[in-house]
Structure 1
Amino acid sequence: MEKIAIVTDSNSGITQEEGRRLGVSVLPMPFYINDVMYLEGITLTQEEFYEKLKNDEAISTSQPSPAEVCGLWDNLLKEYDEVVHIPMSSGLSASCETAMALARDYDGRVQVVDNQRISVTQRQSVLDALVLREAGRTAAEIKEKLEEEKMESSIYITLETLKYLKKGGRITPAAAAIGTVLNLKPVLQIQGEKLDAYAKVRGKKQAKKVMLKAIREDWEDRFGKYVEAGEMCLQMAYTGNKEEAEEFKEEVQAVFPGADIHMDPLSLSVACHIGHGALAVACSKKVTIK
């Protein structure tokens, strides 16, 4: 049986420590803050990031350099026969496209998965890859299966502030100003690929209601057959507001009694575009071996 290494990036929410425990290599995503480069989870903690965000420091996202990506693969291929690389969604970053281009020089030994996921749903893909590897699948078969099921996930996010959407040019300054005065909270969604608008409501309490209704409808209708087969996972994420997220988790648990809910801080690559205080609820299909 081929020895297969699993690689992801820190957008999956998998920390360096958890990566070591799982036997997964985690590429840290780089950030530039006031022109100084930081690496998520290595030279930049979640707390430090939100402190810098609060102080309005100039923050921009980047992607791991080709040398870093290839260096990691080269080291792994000394010990393993193949590599499965699971980056964040190609709709949210160019890092997936870059990795795919680099992989062409590896004669099929590196398989890059474009499975349109981020944060907790990307993490589930990594766990799925481990299950498939354990079942004896090749790297190409793991890639095929993850891409086949890539759209079987759903994320809804609400924000505390419109400031960062305005900063990133996703809404106009006028819309942000009106939204702030009226206490409008957008609910955004990721149904594969990009971050899109889902709804706009008054206040966070209402936003949470909208998200709960949306995720329950997905759970019961869109993913009903997977739920019945025990193949769906519930997840949550937040940006720096753990206490509030824990309270919301209780609300989610009440809607899904008995369900196991995994919760992580949201990837900093997303957090820098939406700011502190966001809440997200998600679900994704998990791979089962029959």
Structure 2
Amino acid sequence: MSIAVVTDSTTDIPSDLVEEAGLNIVPAFVRFGDEEFRDKVDIATEDFYSRLARDKDVFPTTSQPSPGDFKAVYDELLKEHDEIVSIHISSALSGTYASAVGGGAQADPSGERIKHVDSRTASMATGFIALAAQEIIADGGNAEDAAAAANEMVPRVQFAGTPDTLEYLKRGGRLKGAQALVAGVLKIRPVLAIVDGEVEVIAKPRSHRRALAALISRVVEDHAPLTNLAVLHTDQSSRDEAEDVLTDLQSSVKPGGRSLRATIGPAIGSHLGNGTIGLAVSW
């Protein structure tokens, strides 16, 4: 039996891992004004962050793939595969999961060949779930096994980060305006996490150093030893720091576990901005 795993570009899985695992990525959309780009297809991640830094008065917006986009992918995959497991960003943050379900209903009216999973998280936390599902399949599991394992993993992943500002999240409607206003007035470097599928401020330190310490404490130390760890960054200015953090946290990962550095792509980066450091973990 042949089974495909589908996810979306908000997972931020590095391209080499996508290719190695044989994952199928459906891109989200990013807009600058009237210009629309497919995430990581029509606009490279480095180009996106350069433009974000250059055009400070233009805030990017995002939109999910349509049901038709998913149907097109599913139709092609079902020509060569018996089943599909489709794993996506939290339905409380994006309409992507709903689009996937809608596209699946069109491509598979019986509802028997496509299994959908709402990760209730984002970025590489969703990515780790997708990679785990692919591993189940590689070990001989069927789509039901992979979807069950993915759903069981949902409560054991976390994505969190510390952006320079909450303005992007506020403008994108992912955070209440009052929270962003308070953070700006008090010059807070917020620590954000996805909790029960939604973005919450989990710490409010007043310096980058303290924010990073709080991020590590709440995400890594509270859940170590870890099965998977990704240290993420947005623009290149935060890449070296991400590498240093990854080196420092290697001891928190179980023997045989996965640890990596990854770049937050344009779809997620549109809501965080330059200068963000993030952590995605599973335990």
Is 2:249 aligned against 1:245?
no
Amino acid in the other structure paired with 1:4: I
Contact 1:89 1:192 in 2 (8 A): no
Cα deviation digits, residues 10-65 of structure 1 (max 9, x gap):
11113556433321111121112222210111111112211222213242101112
Amino acid in the other structure paired with 1:27: V
Higher mean displacement: 194-203 or 181-190: 181-190
Provide the rounded CA distance (Å) in 1 between the counterparts of 2:105 and 2:18. Answer: 26
- For 1:268, the equivalent position in structure 2 comes to 266
Is 2:235 aligned against 1:235?
no
Is 2:72 aligned against 1:71?
yes
Provide the rounded CA distance (Å) in 1 between the counterparts of 2:253 and 2:67. Answer: 43
Contact 1:153 1:192 in 2 (8 A): no
- Identity level (%): 28
Aligned residues: 274
Contact 2:134 2:146 in 1 (8 A): no
Cα deviation digits, residues 58-101 of structure 1 (max 9, x gap):
42101112222111111111111111111212121111022123
- For 2:222, the equivalent position in structure 1 comes to 218
Q: Report SS of the residue matched to 1:42.
A: coil
Higher mean displacement: 185-194 or 13-22: 13-22
Provide the rounded CA distance (Å) in 1 between the counterparts of 2:143 and 2:180. Answer: 47
Amino acid in the other structure paired with 2:240: E
- For 2:280, the equivalent position in structure 1 comes to 282
Alignment of 1:1-290 (within 5 A): 2-14=1-13, 18-54=17-53, 55=55, 56-105=57-106, 106=108, 107=110, 108-168=112-172, 170-172=175-177, 176=181, 179-180=183-184, 182-220=186-224, 227=225, 232-240=227-235, 241-253=238-250, 261-285=259-283
Q: Per-residue deviation at 1:117?
A: 2.8
Gaps of 5+ in 2: none
Higher mean displacement: 163-172 or 193-202: 163-172
Amino acid in the other structure paired with 1:201: P
Contact 2:64 2:96 in 1 (8 A): yes
Q: Report SS of the residue matched to 2:169.
A: helix
Distance 1:142 1:166, change over 3 A: closer
Provide the rounded CA distance (Å) in 2 between the counterparts of 1:146 and 1:254. Answer: 25
Provide the rounded CA distance (Å) in 1 between the counterparts of 2:192 and 2:280. Answer: 12
Contact 2:130 2:150 in 1 (8 A): no
Gaps of 5+ in 1: 221-226, 286-290
Amino acid in the other structure paired with 2:243: E
Q: Report SS of the residue matched to 2:205.
A: strand
TM-score, length basis structure 1: 0.85
Amino acid in the other structure paired with 2:261: M
Amino acid in the other structure paired with 2:77: L
TM-score, length basis structure 2: 0.87
Cα deviation digits, residues 143-187 of structure 1 (max 9, x gap):
1221122111122211112332343353547953x6446431111
Contact 2:70 2:99 in 1 (8 A): no
Contact 1:161 1:275 in 2 (8 A): yes
Distance 1:266 1:109, change over 3 A: same
Provide the rounded CA distance (Å) in 1 between the counterparts of 2:183 and 2:67. Answer: 41
